[in-house]
Amino acid sequence: MKAIVVHAARDLRIEERAAEKPGPNEVLLQLATGGICGSDLHYFNHGGFGAIRLREPMILGHEVSAYVEELGTGVDGLVPGQLVAVSPSRPCRTCRFCLEGLHNQCLNMRFYGSAMPFPHIQGAFREKLVADVIQCVPADGLTPGEAAMAEPLAVVLHATRRAGEMLGKRVLVTGCGPIGVLAILGARRAGAGEIVATDLSDFTLSVARKAGADRVINMGNEPDALTPYAANKGAFDVLFECSGAAPALIAGISALRPRGIIVQLGLGGDMNLPMMAITAKELDLRGSFRFHEEFAMGVELMQKGLIDVKPLITHTVALTDAVSAFELASDRSQAMKAQIAFA
């Protein structure tokens, strides 16, 4: 089978890998669609992010949908040919954090396409994938592209839960890549009253506007546009920081009202924080990392038509053109979510 393997920064190859057979409670899948994530781009463009670096070749990919091909013994509830969204999250379910219900903090997590541990956890961008049945969420009624969006949607649904009560709140979203735009959809579905979104790309901001942002601001063209929101100690109740850039976080903190909530999703490395402002305004700084039960929630929301991810899928590229797909996904002037068609 063919797999998309990164060896080092700017060294991406389509290689042949041996296919596996499903064991008990496992499913053999024919991959349908894979979405290129920001972390995939970090590995492709930079060989890693922050302190996490590639130390061996690694199959990329964790946003995938697939067709059921073969069932292992003990598998119920799935049928061959069925489309499923495949959760890349594989917690051990036995460590102390799993037993506390914090599966996303698992001490023995096996998350597809991650260079955090060594040996690296190989990813899902391969024509044939063996997965645990519990990872496979039936995606009946969705397209393969929509089903592959379940993973980034789950990230944002987890962040929305971390933010707490949203009804009628004023929300600022900094960074309008796929996670930022999905944060707009999640906040609106949770009842946000006003949403303002910032970025440096007119293209991504246009998608944010279509997703429901009440106002979009290009901070490159209007660097002082958030200043009015900082008057009288700030206007926003919640900040979803999705860029991983310190300037965006600092500007957002200035615009938050006292006892506002910062939900940090963007992963761009460590930042220097304005601790005096955080302390004086009594702000809550909340990290948000991955997801667990929100994956199935995301599939259900899409199936019910309550969240529409289709406008985010701007490009679909054949597996044979995988390198071009990664180049395209890196261009924020024209791509929101680039996906690779495996079938």
Q: What digits encode the pLDDT tens for the residues 39-93?
A: 999 999 999 988 889 999 999 999 999 999 999 999 999 999 999 999 999 999 9
CB count in 10 Å sphere of residue 341: 17
Q: Which of the residue ranges 11-15, 92-96, 242-246, 270-274 would you say has the lowest mean pLDDT?
A: 270-274
What single-letter DSSP state applies at residue 105?
A: G
Q: Is the distance from CB of 326 to CB of 44 less than 8 angstroms?
A: yes
Q: Is the distance from CB of 163 to CB of 261 less than 8 angstroms?
A: yes
Distance CA 270, CA 41 (A): 18
CB count in 10 Å sphere of residue 232: 7
- Which two three-digit tokens encode residue 120? 């690296």
Q: What is the mean pLDDT of residues 330-337?
A: 93
Answer positive or negative: Cα dihedral of 135, 136, 141, 146. positive
Distance CA 96, CA 104 (A): 12
> How much is the pLDDT for 58?
98
> How much is the pLDDT for 236?
98
Q: What are phi and psi of 65, to 5 degrees?
A: -125, 160
- Which two three-digit tokens encode residue 102? 């914090």
> How much is the pLDDT for 271?
82
Distance CA 4, CA 63 (A): 13
What single-letter DSSP state applies at residue 127?
A: S
47, HSE (Cβ side, Cα atoms, 13 Å): 10
What single-letter DSSP state applies at residue 298?
A: H
The CA R_g of the chain, rounded to the nearest whole Å, is: 20
What single-letter DSSP state applies at residue 195?
A: E
Q: What is the mean pLDDT of residues 297-317?
A: 97
The burial class, CB within 10 Å (0-12 / 13-18 / 19+), for 191 is exposed
pLDDT greater than 80 at residue 269? no
Distance CA 210, CA 206 (A): 6
Q: What is the mean pLDDT of residues 263-271?
A: 84
Q: Is the distance from CB of 151 to CB of 175 less than 8 angstroms?
A: no
Distance CA 145, CA 313 (A): 7
Q: What is the mean pLDDT of residues 169-196?
A: 97
With cut-offs at 50, 70 and 90, classify the pLDDT of residue 336. Answer: very high
Q: Is the distance from CB of 240 to CB of 265 less than 8 angstroms?
A: yes
> How much is the pLDDT for 264?
96
Q: What is the mean pLDDT of residues 224-252?
A: 96
Distance CA 262, CA 315 (A): 32
With cut-offs at 50, 70 and 90, classify the pLDDT of residue 202. Answer: very high
- Which two three-digit tokens encode residue 131? 């997965």
pLDDT in tens, 137-180: 999 999 999 999 999 999 999 999 999 999 999 999 999 999 99
- Which runs of consecutive H residues, i.e. helices, occur in 57-149? 96-99, 144-148
SS3 111: coil
> How much is the pLDDT for 267?
79
Q: What is the mean pLDDT of residues 298-316?
A: 97
Q: What is the mean pLDDT of residues 251-272?
A: 91
- Nearest CA to 260 out of 289, 229, 291 is that of 229
Q: What is the mean pLDDT of residues 199-215?
A: 97
Q: Which is it for strands 2-8 and 11-16: parallel, antiparallel or unpaired?
A: antiparallel
In the chain, DSSP assigns E strands to 2-8, 11-16, 26-35, 48-49, 52-53, 58-59, 63-71, 83-86, 128-132, 136-138, 170-174, 194-199, 215-218, 236-241, 256-264, 284-287, 313-318, 337-341
> How much is the pLDDT for 41?
94
> How much is the pLDDT for 270?
76
> How much is the pLDDT for 49?
85
Predicted TM-score (pTM) of this structure = 0.94
Q: What is the mean pLDDT of residues 259-273?
A: 88
For the chain, list the domains and their CATH numbers: 2-149+309-341 (3.90.180.10), 155-287 (3.40.50.720)
Mean pLDDT, the chain, rounded, equals 96
